[in-house]
Every structure is written in structure tokens, then in C-alpha cells.
Amino acid sequence: MKEIYRSPDFTSLSLLSDRLRDAGFETFIRNEDVSSTCYTGMPDFFPAICVLKDGEAVAARKQIDRYLAESKQASGPYWMCVACGERSPHSFEECWSCQAPRTGARC
């Protein structure tokens, strides 16, 4: 078993672990219970994704890096609603304020 990623954010870490499992990697989250019972602030106790087969560690870490890069790109800029003028995140398909569709929106 080899650790490939550690984070204090258990939710994001769990999603990454699920994505690795979907890609065929056998994973285990170490310190899962520690993170839910207390927050120590010490990185040694942060939840960590481990792959069960040491030989898959490099490929699994590359998969994580790809996913993190895709997530960063998807957050993108805001767009301006032409109906009400409010800004909405790039990932929204309709205005958060008036629910107008994104069609015709200005960036």
C-alpha cells in the first residue's frame, strides 16, 4: 500500500478516491476516522488516499493531477446575465438570481 495524496478536505479526497476506483485502481483512505472525530491541523493525521498496489502509484497520481487540473479549468470566469445583470459562475447554465438561461450572456 502506498500513499499518493493527502488533504484535510475529506469530501474532495473521497471524490478523488471514487474517481480512481472508477478508473480501475484499488484505493484505501487512511485516517478516514481521525478526520471525522477531530481536527488536529497536523498533516500526518490528514486523510490520505493510498493505492493497494505499489506499482500503480505513479499512474494513480497522474490521474489525480489530471482531475485537479480539469477541476481548476472548469471553475473558469463568471458570465453576466443579460436579463438582470448579475454575475454567475462559468459552470452555471442559468442565472443564479433570475434563472434566465445563459444564452446571450456576456463574459
68 and 81 in a common domain: no
**What pTM was computed for the model?**
0.66
Q: Is the CB of residue 71 less than 8 Å from the CB of residue 38? A: no
**All cell numbers assigned to 72:** 481548476
Q: How many domains, the chain?
A: 2
The DSSP H or E segment spanning 16 is helix 10-22
Confidence at residue 3, expressed as pLDDT on a 0 to 100 scale: 97
Do 86 and 103 lie in a common domain? yes
Are 106 and 62 contained in the same domain?
Answer: no
Residue closest to 28 by CA, chosen among 9, 3, 60: 3
- Map grid coordinates 474532495 to a residue: 12
82: containing domain: 76-107
CB 83 within 8 A of CB 101: no
Q: What is the pLDDT along the chain (107 residues), one digit of tens a residue?
A: 999 999 888 888 999 999 999 999 999 999 888 755 666 677 888 899 999 999 999 999 999 999 888 776 655 688 888 888 888 888 788 998 999 998 765 55
30 and 15 within one domain: yes
| Same-domain status, 48 and 91 | no
Tell me what pLDDT residue 80 has. Answer: 86
